[in-house]
Amino acid sequence: MTVRNSVTPRAAGEVSHFDIETDVLIVGYGAAGASAAYEAAHAGARVLIVDRSGGPGGASAMSGGEIYLGGGTPIQQACGYDDTPEAMAAFLSAALGSGADVAKIEEYSAGSVDHFHWLVDRGVPFKPSMWDAPTWVPPTDDGLMWLGENSWPFVELAKPAPRGHRPTANDFGGKLLMECLTEAAESAGAETLFDTYVTTLVVGDDNTVVGAVARQYGRELTIRARRGVILTTGGFVDNDAMLEAYAPELLGHTKVSAGTDDGSGIRMAQALGAAVRHMSAGQVGISLIPGLAARGMVVNALGHRFINEDTYPGRIGQSALYRNNMGGSWAGDDTAVWVIVDEEGFEEVPEPQRWGVRPTHVAETAAELEELTGLPAGSLTATLTRYNEFATAGADLDHHKAPRWLRPLTAPFAAIDVKAGVRPPSEAGDRRGTGASVFTLGGLHTDLDGHVLDHDGGPIPGLFAAGRAANGLHGFGYISGTSLGDGTFFGRRAGTAAARNA
Ligand SMILES: Cc1cc2nc3c(=O)[nH]c(=O)nc-3n(C[C@H](O)[C@H](O)[C@H](O)COP(=O)(O)OP(=O)(O)OC[C@H]3O[C@@H](n4cnc5c(N)ncnc54)[C@H](O)[C@@H]3O)c2cc1C
């Protein structure tokens, strides 16, 4: 028989005794939880972090470690870029899509340089050097990168500056980031409890959250939290029932998570009357190599270009999954996307940066490529002719790719089917799937201090949230670095607010 973990809140009067007492209980030890824990402990509260896994990390430790920071950080200055909080806020307001939380974006942008220093003071290293080409993660240890700020339409909306800050690593920086944050939280005095799954919130007579119920090795644990509970449990991409209810477009794709994003924190708070926002929104990482896409064309199942290929690659994925396909024209095959390159473009991207991606089809003419890929007859030929005219003229009148990346494509042509996936050259095996990797952006509605809000917009006493358990900055758009960015920034705010909630 499977045990049912009810999220229905438990009345404090029904709890005969608390096994553990603390001031601030933090549920989930990823980047948001560690940042909250540091600030709460630093403010003098007794802090307990509980995680269902055998140690800290969550998705944060697996991540690229990119953090969206700007407004004039020392790294930006050292690399020769001027930036302002206003330009950063203007970019984020546009890039994070309709419904983005403008108040949070302004606060985040105004506090970004301070947050940079806070991270550095916690030991997170950033190298003052720039990776100046579209990529998911710089293949070098460069600390700064563009995340679409210099691409259309943003280049016309805000003064561009690169704001992707990646901790010094020759690859993914999330592990290093988490090592620094856990060291900071625990040095500040936060205590930890692992292999412990929090199932239910405990509420006092006035609906104030006063603790939680957890399961550890099959037994129940009750935890009293005198000043508040902070939910930093991550999103809900691992919960197919929630995806079906809220974000069905994200079903069936590769899940970008540590396997622990079951939405439990969100459901516990919902059971107490918490409001949620943008639950259908998702980050869509499409399996293309940004350097190849920028040097060629990205086309859909109709053989049409649909976006400027030099933009932040996550926008290409979101566009494929949400916008391009919603009209029904490619219904049933929503991530059918090909990158079309020529030999020069392919060779310009060094082999290690291609992550094992090879052409799936090669042909001497666009018409032959149509036959090989199954694209409609004449479609790719027309798209290529138009693209080459724009490239010759130096202006992409359809999608505004920057002139730097425009060059007429010459035979032979290669098509790369994104469903073939990416794979480090060292790894064998077939990665064929939908070509998309997703995680959820929607979550609990919170204010600037991380209070979880109810349906009337008022705070639920004693309850806080941050990271992907909350909606954070996001509307329906996503830019890399804003997840770790808002999780650490507003996690800190939640930690401070909970510690003061005496
Ligand atoms: C491969 C990869 C690359 C990525 N790259 C980037 C990037 O470069 N920049 C960026 O901003 N984002 C990136 N992301 C996304 C980002 O890592 C996550 O969105 C972010 O780490 C979420 O942080 P969090 O603290 O909210 O959750 P997590 O880091 O996932 O932590 C949540 C923790 O809560 C625990 N937990 C969950 N439920 C319970 C429960 N009921 N009881 C107890 N514990 C519980 C989990 O075990 C987990 O440890 C990437 C993700 C992946 C997987």
- List, for residues 163-197, the tens digit of each pLDDT value: 999 999 877 899 999 999 999 999 999 999 999 99
CATH of domain 288-434: 3.90.700.10
The DSSP H or E segment spanning 148 is none
Number of Cβ within 10 Å of residue 457's Cβ equals 9
Residue 88 Cα, ligand 1 centroid: separation in angstroms? 24
pLDDT band at residue 423 under the 50/70/90 scheme: low
Q: Which residues contact 365 (CB under 8 A, 6 or more apart)?
A: 381, 411, 413
pLDDT number for residue 426: 54
Q: Residue 357: pLDDT above 50?
A: yes
Q: Could you tell me if residue 270 is left (phi over 0), alpha (psi between -120 and 50 degrees) or otherwise beta?
A: alpha
DSSP state of 405: G
Number of Cβ within 10 Å of residue 384's Cβ equals 24
Residue 343 Cα, ligand 1 centroid: separation in angstroms? 39
pLDDT number for residue 332: 47
Pocket test for ligand 1, best of 7, 20, 50, 52 (most atoms within 8 A of CB): 52
Please give the sequence-ordered ranges of beta strands (E in DSSP) within 73-147, or none if there are none: 130-131, 144-145
DSSP reduced 3-state for 216: strand
Q: Residue 408: pLDDT above 50?
A: yes
Whose C-alpha lies nearest to ligand 1, atom 44? 51
pLDDT number for residue 352: 85
Residue 341 Cα, ligand 1 centroid: separation in angstroms? 35
Q: Residue 243: pLDDT above 90?
A: yes
DSSP H helices, 324-451, are 324-326, 343-348, 366-373, 379-393
Q: 185-199, 218-232, 415-429, 443-457: lowest mean pLDDT where?
A: 415-429
Pairwise pLDDT comparison (432 vs 320), residue with the higher score: 320
Residue 92 Cα, ligand 1 centroid: separation in angstroms? 21
pLDDT number for residue 6: 87
Mean pLDDT of the chain: 94
Whose C-alpha lies nearest to ligand 1, atom 50? 63
Average pLDDT over residues 240-249: 96
Superfamily of domain 10-62+174-282+442-500: FAD/NAD(P)-binding domain (3.50.50.60)
Pocket of ligand 1 (CB under 6 A): 27-33, 50-53, 57-60, 62-66, 197-198, 232-234, 256-258, 260, 264-265, 439, 467-469, 480-485, 487
Q: Residue 96: pLDDT above 60?
A: yes
Provide, rounded to the nearest whole percent, the portion of the chain with pLDDT above 70. Answer: 95
Residue 431 Cα, ligand 1 centroid: separation in angstroms? 23
Pocket test for ligand 1, best of 66, 483, 486, 489 (most atoms within 8 A of CB): 483
The DSSP H or E segment spanning 229 is strand 219-231
Residue 213 Cα, ligand 1 centroid: separation in angstroms? 22
Q: Which pair of tokens denotes residue 177?
A: 């980031």
* Residue-wise DSSP of 4-73: P---SPEEGGG----SEEEEEEEE--SHHHHHHHHHHHHTT--EEEE-SSSSS-HHHHHS---EE--SS-
pLDDT number for residue 331: 43
Q: Residue 218: pLDDT above 80?
A: yes
| 3-state DSSP of 232-299 | CCCCCCCCHHHHHHHCHHHCCCEECCCCCCCCHHHHHHHCCCECEECCCCEEEEECCCHHHHHHCEEE
Domain boundaries, the chain: 10-62+174-282+442-500, 67-165, 288-434
Residue 59 Cα, ligand 1 centroid: separation in angstroms? 3
Pocket test for ligand 1, best of 468, 474, 488 (most atoms within 8 A of CB): 468
pLDDT number for residue 334: 65
